[in-house]
Chains A and B, each alone.
Chain A
Amino acid sequence: MEFKQVVGTRRTIRFFDPNRPVEEEKIQVMLEAANRASRAVNADFAKAIVCYRDELSDEVREQMKTPTTTVQIDLAPVTIFWYGDTSFVSGAQGRLKELVDLGALPVTHGWTHAYVDDLVYPQVLEPMSKDQIATVWAVSVETGLAIAQAMLAGVDEGLGVGLHAFNAAGVKDVLKVPDHWVPMWILLVGYPAEDAKGGGQRPRRALSDSFYRGQYGNPWTEIPEVTERLKREGMIQEPMPTDATQRMTEIRQLADRFGLPL
């Protein structure tokens, strides 16, 4: 699938085909996409534990549920538990100097071993690692980037994906999660039982509502030709119709199949 089509096709899938197996090869593609994500100090912020539903006991699956994340967990064949590693500063000096040696952090931009040892590490990274708010902020942003890439890779592989909250305390011991990992989200993965396009793109506000040129208050002005091109190339797709009759019929069929409340 073309990149723009992948971005445009991603939906939060809430009805997975529970009995259609997900190939481990496709999960690996998702993990590699996460591993290729942009990251500060070349640290491995994002950590993930992949669990196939039927390899987890009923008890464990019950423990990971929240009142709002139950049906999806029972339907999705795969759950990827995402965590952020707060020990990202560990080894940062060595990784940065490696990037200096490789020319990824070039001297033209002021990077040297001395800069890493004398300034970046002692004056930026070490204090940051002791600041809990700054640490959680950095870990959350960086892990989010990796998760986003994994999600898009999943869509590219023809899978459905959905990010949700989970009861992190309930599964910490079972998954043997280290204390320095901060729980982020679970990414549920499977083949959609619903229309993969979920009835259309979810409503989004205009770019001008969120994006600005030069300063806040000066909204980005859309270039109509670009918008039209993105429609042709699949990033902008048909929105969910205001008349939801078709979608409601689909939901009724899915509810009947899975015994869900209406």
Chain B
Amino acid sequence: MRTHDIESHASVKQWAAGAGLHHDPTEVREQKLRILADFCAKVEKEPDTLVAFCILRKKETGERFLSVKRRETINGWLEEFAAEQGWAGKQAVVNANVVRSFLIHNGVLIQGPVWRG
């Protein structure tokens, strides 16, 4: 998925607006979109589908809720993704948190590792 393709998704537009991606220098913004696009390609999900993956509905009431297990799954995928990309140290934390930022701005509370170096 190319970075300009990914921008057409509603969830990506919401992320861009919430996180103020348009304020970032072009190369930073492009890099963030690239990270998200590559992650989506890895897990074979479109951005909107990735958000929907974290949100389930209760069988009884149809009420939406955030799935703990699905978020754990995302964190596991992010760990794999960072290793596959060859990221280490603070770069691994920061880049994986680009994807978390995307999810957070779409209403998915997800937290990951912290850089304490």
Binding site for B on A (CB under 8 A): 18-19, 65-71, 74-75, 257-262
Contacts and interface: CB of A to CB of B under 8 A. Distances in A.
Contacts of A65: 111
Contact of B116 (A19, A68, A261): A19
Contact of A75 (B71, B109, B110, B116): B116
B116 A258 contact: yes
Contact of A262 (B72, B101, B115): B101
Contact of B114 (A66, A68, A69, A259): A259
B114 A261 contact: no
Contacts of B113: 74, 259
Nearest to A255: B97
B97 A261 contact: yes
Nearest to B68: A67
Contacts of B101: 261-262
A260 B113 CA distance: 8
A259 B115 contact: yes
Contacts of B110: 67
User: Which of B90, B101, B114 counts the most chain A CB atoms within 10 A?
Assistant: B114
Interface residues of B, number: 21
B20 to A, nearest CB: 8
B55 interface: no
B116 A74 contact: yes
B91 to A, nearest CB: 9
A67 B71 CA distance: 7
Given A75-B116, A258-B116, A70 B19 contact: no
B40 interface: no
B18 to A, nearest CB: 10
A148 to B, nearest CB: 26
Given A66-B68, A262-B19, A75 B114 contact: yes
29 contacts: A18-B114, A18-B116, A66-B68, A67-B66, A67-B68, A67-B71, A67-B72, A67-B109, A67-B110, A67-B111, A68-B109, A68-B111, A70-B112, A71-B111, A74-B116, A75-B114, A75-B116, A258-B114, A258-B116, A259-B90, A259-B93, A259-B97, A259-B113, A259-B115, A260-B97, A260-B114, A261-B97, A261-B112, A262-B101
Interface string B65-98: 0101001100000000000000000100110011
Contacts of A18: 114, 116
A71 B101 CA distance: 14
A146 B111 CA distance: 30
A216 to B, nearest CB: 32
Contacts of B97: 259-261
Nearest to A257: B115
A71 B113 CA distance: 7
